[in-house]
Amino acid sequence: MLYESYIHPITILSTIPSAGVGALLALLLTHNELNVIGMIGIILLIGLVKKNAIMMIDVALEVERTQASNLPKPSTKRACCVFVPS
């Protein structure tokens, strides 16, 4: 098992519907139609959201293992790494 727990893959998979719904709402609010370009954009967005969720959980688990700390601090550290590139 990759993450040593069943909750982590479920967490990663739970981000996918919110990305799709957000993209469809953005299309609806901007009065754009769902065409081939929009579908490609939604697929790319879902891929990026999935990759980000995998990376955040992976870094959080690694920091938790090495520093023996609780989960909110490593996930905050990962979020800072994503938004503030070094």
- 2-27 pLDDT per residue, tens: 667 788 888 888 888 999 899 999 99
- How far is it, in rounded angstroms, from Cα 30 to Cα 84? 29
Q: What angle do CA 85, 20, 2 make, to 5 degrees?
A: 65
By the 8 A CB rule, do 56 and 82 touch? yes
Tens of pLDDT, residue by residue over 18-57, are 998 999 999 999 999 999 999 999 999 999 999 988 888 8
- Confirm whether pTM is higher than 0.75: no
